[in-house]
């Protein structure tokens, strides 16, 4: 406000009003922020179909995707050097693990199972927040966790394919990595999420490089898909998401972000014909319902990543 007043004195009469924030401009900013977060969620949701479509091993896909995304994020965010605190190291390692395990899970099991089970990371946050952050554990938290556990069990009922079952377990591990990332960033609030995301991609690319095979050893089709994953599905999505968070409350952003786990298996079904098991769909809806209910209820909002972890 003080700046606005000084500017109005230095401008011609009637010009100062242009620099002031009006209720209408605030509404427009919030709408733009909502659309940005919705766009980010839709871009994130393409990860399942793109990972399924690329004809390369899981670790190779994860390595190249992270390497490309690291360059994009470094150029756009230009993260400052952060102190190598324990919390920052945990955040970077957790995000690298989250990126890798999501690709492996998507390759091994259905895209629906991978994204729904990864989203269970919100429940891990509710469980671990009292221990890591000293936050109170409420009855609503316990209720949401109980309902989500019922949904998680449905993913494994009647699943006899060893590879799919292993993929489901890796997806659960991805959710745990995601929870560790969010809790680390919340514990040390001075850490930049943009820096953690950027360096997490760097770490994943470097750690997986020995498993990526010879450089440039991919087909043209695979190269195009990998570029899409790194530049658009991660880089572009995070740019939109960071821009949207400036104008949208975290709770609303969390709910908008749920477009990703819903759209992800839809893209895979429409473009690749992969049909998830009915019990998996029911279990996924139960998990998302528990997360959504806990997010909109009064009291402590889950420390949920308002952005999807992948």
Closest of 264, 247, 252, 266 to residue 295, by C-alpha? 252
- pLDDT given at position 270: 94
- pLDDT given at position 271: 94
- pLDDT given at position 296: 78
- pLDDT given at position 189: 65
Other Cβ atoms less than 10 A from the Cβ of 3: the count is: 8
**Size (the chain), residues:** 310
Specify the DSSP class assigned to residue 236. Answer: I
Contact 245, 33 (CB under 8 A): yes
* Domain regions of the chain by residue span: 51-296
Residue-level pLDDT, tens digit, the chain, 310 residues = 434 433 344 444 444 434 455 666 667 878 888 899 999 999 999 999 999 999 899 999 999 999 999 999 999 888 776 567 888 899 999 999 999 999 999 999 999 999 999 988 888 888 888 888 887 878 888 888 888 888 888 888 877 788 999 999 999 999 999 999 888 888 766 667 888 889 999 999 999 999 887 766 788 999 999 999 999 999 999 899 888 888 887 777 878 888 899 999 999 999 999 998 889 899 999 998 988 888 777 444 444 444 445 5
Cα 23 off chain centre by: 31
Other Cβ atoms less than 10 A from the Cβ of 166: the count is: 14
- pLDDT given at position 81: 61
- pLDDT given at position 43: 96
- pLDDT given at position 140: 83
- pLDDT given at position 23: 62
Radius of gyration of the chain from Cα atoms?
A: 21
Name every residue whose Cβ is closer than 8 Å to that of residue 272 and which is 6 or more positions away in sequence: 49, 52, 53
CB-count burial class (<10 Å; 0-12, 13-18, 19+) for 223: middle
- pLDDT given at position 132: 84
Distance CA 47, CA 115 (A): 10
- pLDDT given at position 7: 38
């Amino acid at each position: 406000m003080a700046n606005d007043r000084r500017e109005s004195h230095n401008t011609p009469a009637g010009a100062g009003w242009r620099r002031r924030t009006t209720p209408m401009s605030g509404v427009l900013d919030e709408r733009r922020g909502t659309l940005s977060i919705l766009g980010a969620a839709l871009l994130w949701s393409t990860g399942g179909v793109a990972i399924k479509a690329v004809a390369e091993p899981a670790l190779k896909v994860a390595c190249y995707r992270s390497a490309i995304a690291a360059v994009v994020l470094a150029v756009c965010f230009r993260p400052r050097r952060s102190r190598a605190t324990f919390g920052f190291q945990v955040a970077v390692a957790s995000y690298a693990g989250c990126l890798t395990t999501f690709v492996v899970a998507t390759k091994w099991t259905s895209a629906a199972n991978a994204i729904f089970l990864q989203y269970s990371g919100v429940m891990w946050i509710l469980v671990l927040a009292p221990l890591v952050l000293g936050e109170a554990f409420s009855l609503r938290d316990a209720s949401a966790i109980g309902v989500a556990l019922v949904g998680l069990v449905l993913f494994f009922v009647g699943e006899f394919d060893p590879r799919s079952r292993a993929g489901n377990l890796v997806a659960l591990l991805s959710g745990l990595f995601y929870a560790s990332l969010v809790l680390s960033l919340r514990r040390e609030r001075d850490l930049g999420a943009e820096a953690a995301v950027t360096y997490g991609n760097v770490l994943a690319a470097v750690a997986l490089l020995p498993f990526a095979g010879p450089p440039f050893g991919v087909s043209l089709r695979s190269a195009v898909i990998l570029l899409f994953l790194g530049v658009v599905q991660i880089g572009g999505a995070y740019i939109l998401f960071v821009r949207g968070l400036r104008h949208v409350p975290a709770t609303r952003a969390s709910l908008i972000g749920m477009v990703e786990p819903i759209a992800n298996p839809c893209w895979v079904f429409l473009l690749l014909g992969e049909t998830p098991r009915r019990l998996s769909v029911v279990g996924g809806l139960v998990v998302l319902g528990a997360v959504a209910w806990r997010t909109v209820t009064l009291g402590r909002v889950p420390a949920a990543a308002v952005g999807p972890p992948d």
